[in-house]
Homo-oligomer: A and B are copies of this chain.
């Protein structure tokens, strides 16, 4: 898995090879498997060898994120601003779904690499080309938040029914827990009931993330459209206290 020739004379390391290997490793074994030691082993090399090509672990993660962003597809130029933003963001989503670790990796970043800036500039440019002022574009991108990377923080990541604990609970214990849950969190229960069409045995399945994502995206794009047509300008903005 590491060498190329039958013995010795392996293909030399390079920044690119390190990063692609890191992505492959994260795809296969999760982001936690991407340690300098694990990555080195994957490449058939000693950990410190990596430092001749990358400055440290942070830069590895940065590079992995850049590779994912490189998979984002540009929109069809025939699309209007709305379709173009939608296309860009849904393409980002597909890429992030292909690499389940990417969400956490992107969230943990604090640097903005040229690749990241390039993507943000492209999204901003799509708004501006669609007739939005730079100011309004700015606020809308804040409103979109992480959605421009193709994901929303998962509020309902786990099933609402808390089935923690070691051994399988008895039927009575499960019923008692369900009753307590219904008493303590009646609204969450109502939501779960509605989401599963009343079939509470399906509560554990979680929600349709794709639908939720597009719902939120369209809600924001609708709001954007309305502001643009209403001629929103920064005059709506309260004066900002100088700091």
Mark A residues whose CB is within 8 Å of B: 107, 110-112, 114, 117-118, 120-122, 124-125, 128, 133-135, 137-139, 141-143, 145-148, 152-153, 155-158, 160, 162, 184-188, 190-191, 193-195, 205, 207-208, 211-213, 215-216, 219-220, 222-224, 226-227, 234, 237-238, 240, 243
Contact = CB atoms under 8 A, between A and B. Distances in A.
Q: In the complex this chain forms, how many copies of it are found?
A: 2
Contacts of A120: 155, 185, 188
B188 A157 contact: no
Contact of A153 (B138, B145, B155, B156): B145
Given A111-B158, A121-B188, 13 more contacts: A117-B184, A120-B155, A124-B187, A138-B191, A138-B207, A141-B155, A142-B156, A142-B216, A143-B215, A143-B220, A146-B146, A219-B227, A222-B226
B153 A107 contact: yes
Contacts of A148: 155
26 contacts: A107-B107, A110-B157, A111-B158, A112-B160, A114-B184, A117-B184, A118-B184, A120-B155, A121-B187, A121-B188, A124-B188, A133-B194, A134-B187, A134-B190, A137-B191, A138-B191, A139-B211, A142-B156, A142-B213, A142-B215, A142-B216, A143-B219, A153-B153, A205-B243, A208-B240, A222-B223
Nearest to A143: B216
Given A185-B118, A219-B220, A207 B155 contact: no
B158 A212 contact: no
A240 B207 CA distance: 10
A156 B117 CA distance: 10
A188 B125 CA distance: 8
A158 B114 contact: no
B139 A145 contact: no
Given A121-B188, A215-B143, A194 B134 contact: yes
A152 B157 contact: no
Most buried by B among A143, A157, A211, A213: A143
